[in-house]
């Protein structure tokens, strides 16, 4: 009972017992519910979706690459299906990220069980590596398919891609040997190929030396003969101006001023003119080699003219 606002000792003791039993019953009830509901949830919940594939469907190739890299870092290449790895690689390649795409394509080719598809995916990885300018790795993939491909057509296609890689690497000797092994077409085509490979053999370093020598003989001559007439005219004007200034100072007897102008400023611009002449010849040689490589690829590449 409660007397003057206070519980009697008997009632207070009974209340404590009731609260203690009620708390225990509540704990038992919650444990029972959790233990019963959790298995039911585990049985009825759907399997988790392929989040990487979902990101790809949404067009989020970069985010899909991040998630795929996280999964493979935690569980290895087998953490994602081979088809998903291939899709991620191709999406990254189309998104302009060949360096990140190539590992996914290589892992997919290594994991897929279909030999034909493995060859196709290895060739795709090699093409992506070409985009990344990783020529040695691309050559390795092409050569492997060329040697162990599933059929003659696939091996021949891989051989042409390897030839393209040799040309893109601007390796004239390897390109010549590779092209010689391909089927030969018309005589005009053969002559064009020889001319283009001869262009690939140009040594930009030797060309740079000649450009520097010409600019040393006459300021601006190296730039002009390299096809940069504007730079050549500017170099001739500047260096000619210093030469005229030094001549006038010497005529007036100002030898010290002439030496200061000629050696202090004129020599600097003269040496710079030589350096620019060499760089112009080197750049022109590189441009010729690049254009020759592009034309050669159009002829001998997988879609080239027979």
How far apart, in whole angstroms, are the C-alpha atoms of residue 137 and residue 105? 13
Q: Average pLDDT, stretch 148-162?
A: 89
Whether residue 193 lies inside any domain: the answer is no
pLDDT at 6 over 70: no
Whether residue 196 lies inside any domain: the answer is no
Whether residues 147 and 67 share a domain: the answer is yes
Q: Say what the pLDDT of residue 241 is.
A: 77
Whether residues 162 and 251 share a domain: the answer is no
Q: Measuring CA to CA, which residue among 247, 218, 250 is closest to residue 232? A: 218
Q: Say what the pLDDT of residue 247 is.
A: 72
Whether residue 178 lies inside any domain: the answer is no
Whether residues 60 and 106 share a domain: the answer is yes
Whether residues 106 and 165 share a domain: the answer is yes
Confidence of residue 164 (pLDDT cuts 50, 70, 90): confident
pLDDT at 301 over 60: yes
How many domains in the chain? 3
Q: Say what the pLDDT of residue 211 is.
A: 92
Whether residues 92 and 26 share a domain: the answer is no
Whether residue 146 lies inside any domain: the answer is yes
Strand locations in the chain (E): 2-3, 6-7
Whether residues 147 and 222 share a domain: the answer is no
Residue 212 domain boundaries: 205-300
Q: Say what the pLDDT of residue 286 is.
A: 92
Q: What average pLDDT does the chain have?
A: 76
Q: Say what the pLDDT of residue 59 is.
A: 86
Whether residues 146 and 57 share a domain: the answer is yes
Whether residues 10 and 78 share a domain: the answer is no
Q: Say what the pLDDT of residue 263 is.
A: 67
Q: Say what the pLDDT of residue 299 is.
A: 77
Taking 3-state DSSP, the helix, strand and coil percentages for the chain, each rounded to the nearest 5, stand at 80, 0, 20
Q: Average pLDDT, stretch 55-70?
A: 88
Predicted TM-score (pTM) of the model is 0.62
Cα angle 115, 120, 125; round to 5: 120
Half-sphere exposure of 56 (CA within 13 A, CB side): 20
Whether residues 261 and 209 share a domain: the answer is yes
Q: Say what the pLDDT of residue 129 is.
A: 87
Whether residues 65 and 40 share a domain: the answer is no
Least confident of 7-16, 75-84, 175-184, 287-296: 7-16
How far apart, in whole angstroms, are the C-alpha atoms of residue 146 and residue 225? 44
Whether residue 199 lies inside any domain: the answer is no
Domain boundary among 110, 145, 169: 169
Which phi and psi angles does 266 have, rounded to 5°?
-60, -40
Whether residues 36 and 72 share a domain: the answer is no
CATH number at residue 113: 1.25.40.10
Which phi and psi angles does 7 have, rounded to 5°?
-80, 145
Instruction: Give percent of the chain with pLDDT exceeding 70.
Output: 74
How far apart, in whole angstroms, are the C-alpha atoms of residue 38 and residue 36? 6
> Over the stretch 15-41, which tens digit does the pLDDT of each residue have?
443 344 443 433 333 333 333 433 333
Whether residue 192 lies inside any domain: the answer is no
Least confident of 28-42, 94-108, 138-152, 237-251: 28-42
Whether residues 239 and 286 share a domain: the answer is yes
Domain boundary among 169, 197, 220: 169
Whether residue 183 lies inside any domain: the answer is no
Q: Which residue has the higher pLDDT, 268 or 18?
A: 268
H/E element holding 12? helix 9-44
Whether residue 191 lies inside any domain: the answer is no
Question: What is residue 289's three-state secondary structure?
Answer: helix
């Amino acid at each position: 009972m409660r007397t003057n606002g206070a519980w009697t000792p008997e009632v207070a003791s009974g209340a404590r017992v009731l609260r203690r039993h009620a708390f225990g019953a509540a704990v038992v009830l919650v444990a029972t519910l959790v233990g019963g509901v959790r298995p039911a949830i585990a049985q009825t919940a759907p399997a988790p979706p392929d989040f990487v594939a979902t990101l790809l469907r949404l067009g989020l190739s970069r985010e899909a690459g991040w998630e795929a890299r996280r999964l493979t870092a935690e569980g290895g290449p087998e953490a994602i299906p081979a088809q998903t790895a291939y899709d991620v690689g191709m999406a990254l390649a189309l998104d302009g990220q060949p360096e990140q795409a190539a590992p996914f394509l290589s892992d997919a080719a290594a994991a897929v069980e279909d030999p034909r598809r493995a060859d196709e995916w290895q060739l795709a990885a090699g093409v992506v590596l070409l985009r990344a300018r990783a020529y040695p790795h691309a050559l390795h993939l092409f050569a492997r398919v060329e040697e162990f491909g599933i059929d003659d057509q696939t091996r021949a296609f891989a051989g042409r891609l390897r030839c393209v890689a040799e040309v893109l690497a601007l390796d004239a000797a390897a390109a010549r040997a590779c092209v010689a092994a391909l089927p030969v077409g018309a005589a005009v085509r053969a002559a064009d190929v020889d001319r283009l490979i001869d262009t690939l053999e140009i040594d930009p370093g030797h060309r740079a030396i000649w450009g520097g020598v010409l600019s040393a003989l006459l300021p601006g001559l190296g730039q002009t003969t390299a096809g940069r007439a504007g730079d050549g005219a500017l170099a001739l004007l500047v260096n000619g101006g210093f030469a005229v200034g030094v001549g006038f100072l010497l005529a007036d007897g100002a030898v010290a001023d002439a030496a200061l102008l000629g050696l202090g400023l004129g020599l600097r611009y003269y040496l710079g003119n030589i350096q620019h002449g060499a760089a112009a010849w080197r750049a022109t040689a590189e441009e010729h080699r690049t254009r020759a490589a592009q034309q050669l690829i159009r002829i001998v590449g997988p879609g080239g003219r027979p």
